[in-house]
Structure 1
Amino acid sequence: MNRSGGDDQHRKIVFTTQSVDGESEAVVTLQEHKDPTRPPFLISLSKRPQPGDKQPPFSPPEKRETHVIISSGSGHGLADEFYSSAVGPILESIHGHRGMEELEVHTTESPTSILELTDAVLFPAANQGKPIRIILLSGDGGIVDLVNGLSSKTPNPQAYISPQVVILPLGTANALYHSINAGAYDAWGLPALTSWKTKPLPTFTATFSPGARLLIDEGRQEQELPKDPQGNGILHGAVVASWGMHATLVGDSDTTEYRKHGVERFKMAAKEALYPADGSPPHPYKGRVSILQEKGKDRWTALPEEEHMYILATMVSHLEKPFCISPATKPLDGSMHLVHFTPRSGDEVMGIMNKAYDGGKHVEDGDVRYACIDGLRIEFEGKEEDGRWRRICVDGKIVRLEKDGWVEVRRVMEGGAKGVLDVVVV
């Protein structure tokens, strides 16, 4: 794959794809959009016979049932357009016309579409030992729905085959995609369409006190969380779990009006939270925060502070393409890192956060606690009256806890167990 062309607005992406049967190849030329938040568009796709002395560079190890999931509501709502204008024609060059008929294309119709598809189709097939490949045109929300759908049932350990997922970043921030591809040329995930190399997706589990509720419909409604055997609420994640300023920004900006502004919505919400209209300082978040650090030992250590501003446990390096929250994290390495600091003025908070846009230099700030952890526990102990300050973010989903509620986040330990999902990498 290479880029060619003059200025940034006219660069082209050119790459070659080989057909699955090895009989032909196609030269694909796309043009980058002048707006970097919009995907590239296909200019030309020319097929030619595969040279006789050239072996196809990829060959699926086994025939895989392939599902394309187009998340219509993700990001700027461009997933349908990107599929019809670029992804579909590229897939046809790889699979051929007959192979395209075997692809199952699903377009989301509601926020629960991916969960329902996983429950009805993807998990049962994986659990019967069927190899599955998922081409996902979505943001991080699509991944978390797949992870939760696949994790919600107990798999048959002898039969279950982790589905492969090709991530095409059509969301707002696309944290997982940009973390996996940090430092590489961003080709919107298209090279992965012809890759069969995979890595397990590291995950974490967040367990909530029984009264916790998932907020939906822009926070206007709430619903029960899935339950573990003890009756506690449970969510699975692969990106981030947070409380404090980060959770507030995600929760406050999760509206139709804010989403029109793309990734800028977080900065807009930050301005309102950090500089309240009445001139008061930003809210200090009150509660007990503990961390789990000693591998293999179930020993929680409470942080000395009782008031907090930013509390985040992350399994990725970037929350947006330019926003490096955890510079020590390597792609899909399975580590979890804590980023934490205590209450301060709006200007001071902005100063720390801006360093994250400078290659993650905020972790060098003496006021920031940055550490590798295995778990994070938050207990409210009745210290926050207003439910607004008791919101927890798990991969973009917002959960509100009761006054004396708690949440416990644990990294899923490596070793032995297979992951529920494998990510296709280049």
Structure 2
Amino acid sequence: MEYPLIYDDQLIIGVKSDDGYSLKYESNDDVKLNLEIFNQKKTIVIDSSNSGTGRLKRDIYNPILKVLLEKYNVQHDYHYTESADSISQIARNLPSGNLLVLIISGDTSVNEFLNSLSGEGGELTIVNIPFGTGNSLALSLEDNELTAIAKLFTSTPVHEFNLYDISLPPNCWELKQSARVKQMPTSYKFIVVFSWGFHASLVADSDTPELRKFGLERFKMAAMKNLQSPHQYPGSTFIDKEEYGGPYNYWLITPSRKFEPTFEISPDGSIFDDSLFLISFGVSVDTMSVMQQVYDKGNHIKNPDVIYNKVQNQEIILKFENLPSDVRRFCIDGLIIEVPPSGEIKLKSTGNTINNWNIFIM
């Protein structure tokens, strides 16, 4: 893959191959680059080392991003994550002010960063250089890792970054490979998906060292495992007192259009709109048939057995009671949590502000 990154006295092209990333240069006299955003903001780079399949032959900072930033004298702080809580520590210790944060990561790392923000706050613009597996956020922005970098050197507009609040019951736990890691707060934000049922189960089951090395294919492998032993997810969803009852097979809330390049879960979705979409179906519906429709340009929304509901300025409430242990896993932007047997979860749009920070995205 080749993509033009910068137009100056030279045309600089980013190249992706089996051996990694590189730059090549060609003469060009037509278009000048724009460095205005770097003059206005302090630049910080966060390189999430474990996103996707890791960094073997996938280092984009040293061969491309660092070279370009240094070429144009852009001073920046670089953070390479060394541990599971590195991103949270970076977010908690950000200086206040007007910041440009380049996150080389997938959706989960962006979520973790936002939920860990603290301090005096300010204005924060995020550029997500997608290095995860699903990369729904980047798909919503129509970016790959090279086009995301190219935006930095053009006059790309900046948008408010819509965030969505989840009110969780007490005693929810973050899970890592089925083990409880830490207790979740009762208020948490998500950016691309909150799910239960089949979707949450396949994300959870795919998060093993054995499967992560397969990249995007790991989701399909975990999905086949879940299809062999389907579960029922009993609960009821309320939107302005209108009930969408279970038991469910598939249940999720998202503002996003795609979870994979060809997996069009919500054809009307847009992260530039603060609307959410409820997509669900019951246990009597054939899961594989609906998934094939999702891959077929989102044709599942025409299926009468599938609930596809746009939610604007309304609170979504999910209630559940006496859940067995094997159906208590939920997915928040790739993060897996375990809920208690009974409780309720509330979701709503909360704008682009979190912990004294106004959040924007390029």
TM-score between both structures, scaled by the size of structure 2: 0.90
Q: Distance in 1 between matches of 2:163 and 2:147?
A: 23
Q: Distance in 1 between matches of 2:192 and 2:330?
A: 14
5 Å-filtered alignment, 1:2-13, equals 12-13=2-3
Tell me, yes or no, if structure 1 residue 33 matches structure 2 residue 17: yes
Contact preservation (8 Å) 2:15, 2:24:
no
Match of 2:148 in 1: 189
Q: Deviations over 1:360-404 (max 9, x none)?
A: 11111111111111333222211x22x220111111111111111
**What is the CA-CA distance between 1:186 and the residue it aligns to?**
7.5
Q: Distance in 1 between matches of 2:145 and 2:275?
A: 24
**Secondary structure, in 3 states, of the residue corresponding to 1:88?**
helix
> RMSD in angstroms over aligned alpha carbons?
2.7
Contact preservation (8 Å) 1:169, 1:188:
no
Q: From 183, 200, 214, give the equivalent of 2:160.
A: 200
Q: Deviations over 1:330-373 (max 9, x none)?
A: 3422211110111136xx21111111112111111111111111
Q: Using a 3 Å threshold, how does the CA distance of structure 1 residues 185 and 103 change in structure 2: closer, same or farther? A: closer
**Secondary structure, in 3 states, of the residue corresponding to 1:363?**
helix
Q: Distance in 2 between matches of 1:118 and 1:47?
A: 40
The amino acid across from 1:149 in the alignment is: S
The amino acid across from 1:65 in the alignment is: K
Match of 1:351 in 2: 289
Q: Distance in 2 between matches of 1:30 and 1:61?
A: 20
**What is the CA-CA distance between 1:319 and the residue it aligns to?**
0.8
Match of 2:242 in 1: 301
**What is the CA-CA distance between 1:15 and the residue it aligns to?**
4.0
Number of aligned residue pairs: 357
The amino acid across from 1:265 in the alignment is: R
Structure 1 stretches of at least 4 aligned residues deviating more than 6 Å after TM superposition: none
Q: From 311, 327, 340, give the equivalent of 2:280.
A: 340
Match of 2:110 in 1: 143
Match of 1:65 in 2: 42
Match of 1:108 in 2: 81
**What is the CA-CA distance between 1:224 and the residue it aligns to?**
1.1
Tell me, yes or no, if structure 1 residue 14 matches structure 2 residue 4: yes
Q: Distance in 2 between matches of 1:87 and 1:338?
A: 38
Match of 2:342 in 1: 404
Tell me, yes or no, if structure 1 residue 162 matches structure 2 residue 123: yes
**Secondary structure, in 3 states, of the residue corresponding to 2:49?**
coil
5 Å-filtered alignment, 1:135-284, equals 135-150=102-117, 153=118, 160-181=121-142, 187-195=146-154, 197-216=157-176, 218-226=177-185, 233-276=186-229, 282-284=230-232
**Secondary structure, in 3 states, of the residue corresponding to 2:54?**
coil
Larger proportion of strand: 2
Q: Distance in 2 between matches of 1:414 and 1:41?
A: 34
Structure with max Cα Rg: 1
**What is the CA-CA distance between 1:200 and the residue it aligns to?**
1.1
**What is the CA-CA distance between 1:78 and the residue it aligns to?**
2.8
Match of 2:24 in 1: 44
Q: Distance in 1 between matches of 2:7 and 2:356?
A: 31
The amino acid across from 2:272 in the alignment is: L
**What is the CA-CA distance between 1:141 and the residue it aligns to?**
1.4
Greater relative CO (CA pairs within 8 A, separation 6+): 2
